[in-house]
Structure 1
């Protein structure tokens, strides 16, 4: 075989050693599943972060189809000290997409491992491989007439449950805390061994997808947002589809209403009168999702003035805040809870309730109702058209579900974004007692000026929120090291001690969540 000259190499690996590794991968996977030419790697190099593409350029991509192949891949990686960055569907938009953490890592693409292994309609469980998408699983449930529903992130159809859960993503149904609904993982460790968590290690046991804990330490959480193993199977619980799902919206006129909204909704969430993750989306989030473009209202750089936001709110029949929730159950159950919700809103003296019958097929209500009903769609990608130019980073701090906390976060975020000429495009997702504050930092990546502003802005968001005691729960690959610092040195030392024990050659996704043996200093 002719030796290739590879323009991008893994950190610390020579041309000769990398060529030997590529030949070993080709022997294992076949030439067509080892991608090294620039044109083959284009799909793995698209990023939306304000850094140079070259910083996240892969040296190659491996496409595996079986657990055995994954085991052999990591053995080759150990021999030649090749770092791999594993993806399932690679649709982690706003958090780094499919590109690796740093230049030269080899991508291990598991999209062809896409078997729906088992769905139990009575126990309401599923077991799938990492390449399974929400769209594929939804179609499977529909085709087999199974009375079950999915929970997924907003741009859902092309994303998958394994990748989303491993990054601790959330959804919009009563099963929206995805890691909480996970039950049993199969993982290939850095030495090639296969670990099954929970009940999965017991020979002949059939409780893998129904009992999370097993015996001894519970390990599943250790592998999420981490680089200690490669997930090749995951079990999770599915929600029985109730006879009645009643989605609704509450529209608020003023940006200052956010504190009152949260205080109003928190008791309804904690008591499970409203059982799903309530979304409180600002006007620009909903306008962008409905494919409104900034250029329709103004041109030039800079933040969108409040006067224009009010005009959009009026023109598109939106609220300054748009609250989405749903009720689930029998008609009797829904009727009782609907009475509680409507009376609570009425007593508050503010907020206009819109039902599905009133909204019809209008956007953004339609796609919100679909998300809450377990129907995947791609409508929220319209956000990327608001400014255009392909730049997007999710800034996702967490707070208590208190009105004053959310008002404080919104005010701080908007101030920083506007200072850098960018817009506050945000939503709060109400958990049981927490608020996921998700902000899409949108910018024109074709503009050097705006790209540099976005980079400075994101740094300032992290720094200023940290000063106020807030940290994010997920972040894109360019800022993982910085966010890891927010959580303190003890946590970092423990994470790296585990890494040294399980992956001494540092081959599994170095840099993921700031865990990297080559760069960590005690």
Structure 2
């Protein structure tokens, strides 16, 4: 889709005022770090949502290299009322990519702020800037010879820990809840002041990355999934490399098995026998590592049950495949492996597969890599299932109960199939909560399918909300809709904080539905 010729401007900002701001940005950052030509902005316009790119087209992009420049950008934005949408590595695929919430916002790109400031191999902590990627951090750890693991999300290598943690993303090792394992932030506020949270405010403190709470109200949380500040440094807790790592899979052949599986494995998650999130992967999600839909059919619409069964039979894929791992000393792992295998055997169903038995199976290797913190881009195979570059993650959260699973799968499948799309999903049980992760895949080059995908996602949100489910993350096109589902009191509190911290509404207006102008 091509961008119209008319100038793209921030809402409420005249061309002359915008040009004054651009000149000041050039003086601050250098001309090469202020991008305002159409061809320069193409990387910031790539979206996977079923809406026109022009709705999320930026007016310019700014590349900052240090905290002082970020402070300078904020000062200019306040003076000229320029809204900035901050990105770090910019690979928020399925949730909006690098594109701003709405047309005309200026991108503030922090990818060149990519210093690994410190890694402590004894206390297992790191302090990094926003542009640092998981691959960069892993390479640094290996170069130093530290026995430490990171916990990346699925598209690991190109993603940054700061951006993913700020969106409260998750991974697959025992350190999967990324915000739980974050400790200390440096934040540039809308007034240009620099806040160091928790122990970072104490002069000469050496506990910034080891004690999360500090003194007084805990502030780190308000800078996640929000637009209250720009995070320029973040502390992370890293996982000590275990003596033994034992990944495994359990394959199940019936769709209805999913209800019993959650009941079987949830106690092992709560009591720590399986310390990482237990993942229950549906057929098409599992198949995406090696299979394209076009291998079986080119018909438009939802994939038939008969074809899904053929994929299971020919590719030796279960209706559901459970993935988990054990970590620790050999003695510890041996005891827990005995608990897992006996429990599965007593249940009377399920085929256990170890790493040795899996051999070169790409689906098993992908999951094992995630659970040991290895870098992998295998998840992008999902985008080959239908092709056409369309993807939106639908991510409702529920109690970790088997009774929640079939109800959700049937509801989601009914809605997706009604709109001619497929159920491509998995559940992740993290002790008491269960994430249901569905990739709504569609063809962005087909206008009719784009409309169906948009209507489908809206209906998923509506119907799941009617059943008491809320999503924990969403793409930029649906942020206002999801904010509404959490009620008017929360929306008003967020606006109250926004008015206090950012009265000129310059920091990412619209993020998570927080915007003083709407």
**Above 0.5 in TM-score?**
yes
Q: Deviations over 1:14-68 (max 9, x none)?
A: 0000000000000000000000000000100000000010000000000000000
1:360 deviates by 1.6
1:291 deviates by 3.2
Residues in 1 aligned to 2:81 and 2:123: alpha-carbon distance in whole angstroms:
43
Residues in 2 aligned to 1:450 and 1:257: alpha-carbon distance in whole angstroms:
32
Determine helix, strand or coil for the equivalent of 1:74: helix
User: Does the 8 Å contact 1:91/1:158 carry over to 2?
Assistant: yes
Residues in 2 aligned to 1:385 and 1:162: alpha-carbon distance in whole angstroms:
28
Q: Does residue 339 in structure 1 map to residue 338 in structure 2? A: yes
Q: Deviations over 1:245-304 (max 9, x none)?
A: 00000111011111001000100000000000111110100111x131101101121100
Q: Deviations over 1:380-430 (max 9, x none)?
A: 100000000000000000000000112111111011001100000001011
Determine helix, strand or coil for the equivalent of 1:200: helix
Residues in 2 aligned to 1:281 and 1:155: alpha-carbon distance in whole angstroms:
16
Residues in 2 aligned to 1:349 and 1:36: alpha-carbon distance in whole angstroms:
63
Determine helix, strand or coil for the equivalent of 1:437: strand
Match of 1:137 in 2: 137
Determine helix, strand or coil for the equivalent of 1:494: helix
Match of 2:116 in 1: 116
Match of 2:402 in 1: 403
Match of 1:220 in 2: 220
Residues in 1 aligned to 2:255 and 2:510: alpha-carbon distance in whole angstroms:
38
1:6 deviates by 6.9
User: Does the 8 Å contact 2:189/2:501 carry over to 1?
Assistant: yes
Residues in 1 aligned to 2:223 and 2:360: alpha-carbon distance in whole angstroms:
41
Match of 2:436 in 1: 437
Match of 1:450 in 2: 449
Match of 1:480 in 2: 479
Determine helix, strand or coil for the equivalent of 1:41: helix
Q: Deviations over 1:413-449 (max 9, x none)?
A: 0110011000000010111100010100000111111
User: Does the 8 Å contact 1:6/1:15 carry over to 2?
Assistant: no
Residues in 2 aligned to 1:291 and 1:455: alpha-carbon distance in whole angstroms:
27
Match of 1:320 in 2: 319
Match of 1:159 in 2: 159
5+ residue gaps, structure 1, are none
User: Does the 8 Å contact 1:291/1:385 carry over to 2?
Assistant: no
1:315 deviates by 1.2
Match of 2:90 in 1: 90
User: Does the 8 Å contact 1:277/1:429 carry over to 2?
Assistant: yes
Residues in 1 aligned to 2:267 and 2:217: alpha-carbon distance in whole angstroms:
34
User: Does the 8 Å contact 1:151/1:374 carry over to 2?
Assistant: yes
Q: Deviations over 1:288-325 (max 9, x none)?
A: 1x131101101121100111111101111111111110
TM-score (norm 2): 0.99
Match of 1:176 in 2: 176
Q: Does residue 245 in structure 1 map to residue 245 in structure 2? A: yes
Q: Does residue 262 in structure 1 map to residue 262 in structure 2? A: yes
Determine helix, strand or coil for the equivalent of 2:398: strand
1:361 deviates by 2.3
Q: How many residue pairs were aligned?
A: 514
1:73 deviates by 0.2
Match of 2:418 in 1: 419
> CA 1:76 to 1:6, structure 2 compared with 1: closer, same or farther past 3 Å?
farther
Residues in 2 aligned to 1:316 and 1:187: alpha-carbon distance in whole angstroms:
49
Match of 2:234 in 1: 234
Residues in 1 aligned to 2:60 and 2:290: alpha-carbon distance in whole angstroms:
36
User: Does the 8 Å contact 1:399/1:406 carry over to 2?
Assistant: no
Residues in 2 aligned to 1:215 and 1:507: alpha-carbon distance in whole angstroms:
29
Determine helix, strand or coil for the equivalent of 2:471: coil
User: Does the 8 Å contact 1:6/1:59 carry over to 2?
Assistant: no
1:175 deviates by 0.4
Q: Deviations over 1:168-218 (max 9, x none)?
A: 000000000000000000000001000011100000110000000000000
5+ residue gaps, structure 2, are none
Residues in 1 aligned to 2:183 and 2:431: alpha-carbon distance in whole angstroms:
20
Residues in 1 aligned to 2:120 and 2:254: alpha-carbon distance in whole angstroms:
46
Determine helix, strand or coil for the equivalent of 1:157: helix
Determine helix, strand or coil for the equivalent of 1:258: helix
User: Does the 8 Å contact 1:281/1:323 carry over to 2?
Assistant: yes
User: Does the 8 Å contact 2:87/2:110 carry over to 1?
Assistant: yes
List aligned pairs for 1:458-469, cutoff 5 A.
458-469=457-468
Match of 1:301 in 2: 300
Residues in 1 aligned to 2:14 and 2:428: alpha-carbon distance in whole angstroms:
47
Match of 1:210 in 2: 210
Residues in 2 aligned to 1:315 and 1:300: alpha-carbon distance in whole angstroms:
20
Q: Does residue 67 in structure 1 map to residue 67 in structure 2? A: yes
Q: Does residue 490 in structure 1 map to residue 457 in structure 2? A: no
User: Does the 8 Å contact 2:290/2:362 carry over to 1?
Assistant: no
Q: Deviations over 1:454-505 (max 9, x none)?
A: 0000000000000000010000000000000000000000000000000000
Give the ranges of 4+ consecutive aligned residues of structure 1 lying more than 6 Å apart after TM superposition: none
User: Does the 8 Å contact 1:291/1:386 carry over to 2?
Assistant: no
Residues in 2 aligned to 1:337 and 1:343: alpha-carbon distance in whole angstroms:
10
User: Does the 8 Å contact 2:148/2:239 carry over to 1?
Assistant: yes
User: Does the 8 Å contact 1:399/1:470 carry over to 2?
Assistant: yes
